[in-house]
Structure 1
Amino acid sequence: MPERERVTPSVVVGVDGSRWATEAACWAVDEAVRRAIPLRLVYAVDSTEDDDDAQRIARRFAAAQTAVRCTAAAVESTDRPVKIEAEIVQQKPVAALLDASNGAAMLCVGAIGLNHFRDRHIGSTATALATAAHCPVAVVRGHDPVASAQRCVAVELDGSTGDGALRHGFDEARSRGAPLRVLTTWRSRYPDIHDGHAIAAGNRDAKAALERRLKCWRTRYPDVDVTTVALHGNSLSYLMMHGDSIQLLVVAHERGQGIAELLGANGNAVLAHADCSVLVCEPQNLL
C-alpha cells in the first residue's frame, strides 16, 4: 500500500469502537493541544476474510463511521481546543496504524480493544505497535484527569537506555504539572543473588550513578520535582507495589523483550488495576 503523505504531524489514535479506544482518544487530546497539532482518529476495517461479501463490508464501514463519530463526540466533550481529523481505511489494524505512525508525533491505543479476548496473546497488538512504530506509542489504561493529577510520571532506565526516555519523561511531567520519578534497574552478575547487603550496596551505586546522570537534566528542567529509585532486577515488582501512584510510565524502545513483558499478560495484571498508562519511546535513531 503506498505511503500516505502528511503535510503536518498529528497525534494518531487507533479507534475500534471500544470504550478503551475512546478513553485513549480523550487521553491523547492534551498531547495534541500541547504540540498545537491535530488529533487524527484512524479506524481500520479488516475485510480480508470477507472480500467477496459486499454487504458485510458495507456493514463494517457503517460501524466504523459510527465508532469514529462517537469517539469524535467524546473528544469534543472535553472542550479542549483541538482539531479532529478522521480516516477509515480498509487494511489490517496493525499495518494501518504502523503506516499512520510515519510522521506522527505519537500513536495512542487502548490497552484493551474489541479483539482482546480473541487474541492469542494478551497485549499482542500493543506490543507489535510499540516495537515497530515510527513514533512514540502510548498504551492507555484509562482517562481520569482528576485522579491522574495526584500521581507522578515515571521513567524506567537501565545501563543501555539512551536519553530519549528521559527527555519524554521530563516533557510529560512538565506538561502535566506532575512530579517525575526516575527508576533505574540493574542486574547482578550472579542471577541468584540473595545477599541483602550486596543488593543494598548495588542499589546505592546505581542511584549515585543515576544522580550524576540527572544533574544536567535537573538544571534544564528546574520546575520539575524529581525523585530517584534504584531497583535490582526488573521493575514489575516495584510497579505491583507502587503502580497506583504512577499515571504514566515512560520506557525506552531499547527495552526490547521487556516491552512484551510489560504490555503482555504479566504487565497487564500489574498495571491494569492502577490505570497506569505506558509510553514507549521511538527508536534512538529517530530522535
Structure 2
Amino acid sequence: MGAYVLAGLDGSVESTTAAGWAADQAVRRRLALRLVHVETWLDDAHAGASVPADVRTLTTRMLTRTQDALRAAHPGLEVRADLLGGGPVVDVLVDAATDPEAELLVLGSRGIGGFEGLVVGSVGLGVTARSPIPTALVRAHGAGHLPDPDGAPVVLGVDTRAPSAEVIEYAFREAARRGALLRAVHGWTPPPVWGYAGWVAPQAETEEFRLIEAELLSDALAGWREKFPEVAVVECSQLATGAQALVDQSSDAGVVVVGRRLRHLPLGPRLGPVGHAVLHHAHAPVLVVPHD
C-alpha cells in the first residue's frame, strides 16, 4: 500500500466526518488512506448465528460504504478498509499507528458511545496522549459546514520558552501544502505578583512585557520564514493563557497544530494542559504532534 493516512471509524457521525477529513489530507499529501474499525464486545461481528445475517454484517457494510463513498469523492485515491481486534480500542489504535507506513492518525472527537455534550471522548484522549505519530481529532459540524474549509489559516501554538522544531516545521509544511496563511500564536500572562493584593501593573510595564513576549515569538520562528518563503506568516502574541489564545484564534482556522512532549511519566504518557484544553474547546480540527 505504501505510506498512508490512518483513520479510525466506528459508525458515529464524528468518525465519518473524520474519515472524510482524513481523505482530504491523504490527497494533499499524495498518500493512500487506510480505514480501520476496532472490534469490541459490543460489535455486531460477535453476534451469534441466531441474529439475522444483515444485522451481523453491519460493521462490514459500514466500512464498505465509507470506503466506496471516499473513493467516489476522491477519484484515484487508494482506500483500504480493515477490521482490527485483539485488545482495548486505545491499545489497538496506538499499535496500528506504529506501522512505519502510517504518517498521520485521524479520529473523530467523540465516538459512538460518548456522552451527549462530551466534546472529546476517552478513546480520542487516550490515543492522542500515546500515539507515536501526529494525530488529529475532528469534530462533526452542522450540515453543509466543512470542518476544514479551503484557504483557512493553519494556527500554530508556539511555546516560546521551549520551542519545538518538529512542531514548527510540521505546521509550516501543513501551511505550504494548503497554500494557506500560518498564524503563529503565543499566549502569555503577567507575573503572578501582579495579582497580589489586587495590584494592577502600570500600562508602561504591561507594554514592556508585551514587547518582550512578541520578540520571543519572533525568535522562535527565526529561520523558518526563510526555509518556507512561500508561506505567509502572521505572529500573534496575546495577553491570555496559551490555551485561550489558541481557542480564540481557531474560530476561522482550517487546523490547529500543537505539540505533545514525549515523556516517560510514572502514570504513563499524557497530554499537557494546553493541548488538553485546546482539544476540548478549539473550533477547528486539532493536530497534535509528538516531539522530544
Task: Give TM class, smaller chain.
Answer: 0.7 to 0.9
Separation in 2 of the partners of 1:201 and 1:231? Answer: 13
Q: Secondary structure at the match of 1:181?
A: strand
**Cα separation, partners in 2 of 1:19 and 1:49, compared to 1, 3 Å:** closer
1:170-191 CA-to-partner distances (Å, cap 9, x unmatched) read: 1111111110000123344417
Bigger radius of gyration among the two:
2
Quick one: distance in 2 between partners of 1:89 and 1:51? 11
Contact 1:13 1:108 in 2 (8 A): yes
* Structure 2 residue 191 is the aligned partner of structure 1 residue 183: no
1:195 is aligned to 2:195: no
1:21 and 1:35 map into 2 onto residues whose CA distance is 20
Of 56, 63, 72, which aligns to 1:77? Answer: 72
For residues 134 and 120 of structure 2, the distance between their equivalents in structure 1, rounded to whole angstroms, comes to 21
1:258 aligns with 2:252: no
Partner residue in 1 for 2:35: 41
Residues in 2 aligned to 1:72 and 1:43: alpha-carbon distance in whole angstroms: 12
Q: Distance in 2 between matches of 1:181 and 1:77?
A: 33
Q: Residue 24 of structure 1: which of 18, 21, 33 is its match? A: 18
* Alpha-carbon offset, residue 253 of structure 1: 0.8
1: CA distance, partners of 2:245 / 2:105:
27
In structure 2, the CA distance between the partners of 1:80 and 1:121, relative to structure 1 (3 Å rule), is closer
Q: Which residue in the other structure is 2:223 paired with?
A: 216
* Matches of 1:122 and 1:202, distance apart in 2: 35
In the alignment, residue 208 of structure 2 is paired with which amino acid?
Answer: A
Q: What SS is found at the alignment partner of 2:61?
A: helix
2:136, 2:285 within 8 Å by CA — same for their partners in 1? yes
Question: What residue in structure 2 maps to residue 106 of structure 1?
Answer: 104
**Alpha-carbon distance in structure 2 between the residues aligned to 1:235 and 1:186:** 6
Distance across 2 between alignment mates of 1:53 and 1:230: 55
**How far apart, in 1, do the equivalents of 2:152 and 2:158 lie?**
19
Q: CA deviation at 1:215?
A: 2.8
Q: 1:9 aligns with which of 3, 24, 29?
A: 3
Alpha-carbon spacing, 1:51–1:81, altered in 2? closer, same or farther (3 Å): closer
* Match of residue 264 from structure 2: none
Q: CA deviation at 1:234?
A: 2.0
SS of residue in 2 equivalent to 1:253: strand
Aligned partners of 1:115, 1:152: CA distance in 2, in Å?
A: 32
Kindly report which structure 2 residues correspond to 1:221-232, keeping only aligned pairs within 5 A, or say none: 221-232=228-239
User: Match of 1:151, SS?
Assistant: coil
Q: Secondary structure at the match of 1:64?
A: helix
Alignment of 1:281 onto 2:282: no
Structure 1, unaligned runs of 5 or more: 1-6
Q: What is the aligned partner in structure 2 of residue 155 from structure 1?
A: 156
Give 5+ residue unaligned stretches, structure 2.
262-270
**What is the CA-CA distance between 1:232 and the residue it aligns to?**
3.6
Aligned to 1:20, the other structure's residue is in SS state: helix
Cα root mean square deviation, aligned: 3.1
| Per-residue deviation, 1:220 | 0.7
| Length-normalised TM-score, structure 2 | 0.80
Question: 1:158-169 counterparts in 2 under 5 A?
Answer: 158=159, 159-169=161-171
Deviations 1:20-75 (A, max 9, x none): 2122111112322343332000101112899996347x888622212111211231
Tell me which residue corresponds to 1:140: 138
Counterpart Cα distance in 2 of 1:155 and 1:263: 14
- CA–CA distance in 1 between the matches of 2:72 and 2:46? 39
SS of residue paired to 1:39: strand
| Alignment CA distance shift 1:61-1:96 (3 Å) | farther
Query: How far apart are the structure 2 equivalents of 1:100 and 1:13?
Result: 10
The one-letter code of the counterpart of 2:19 is A
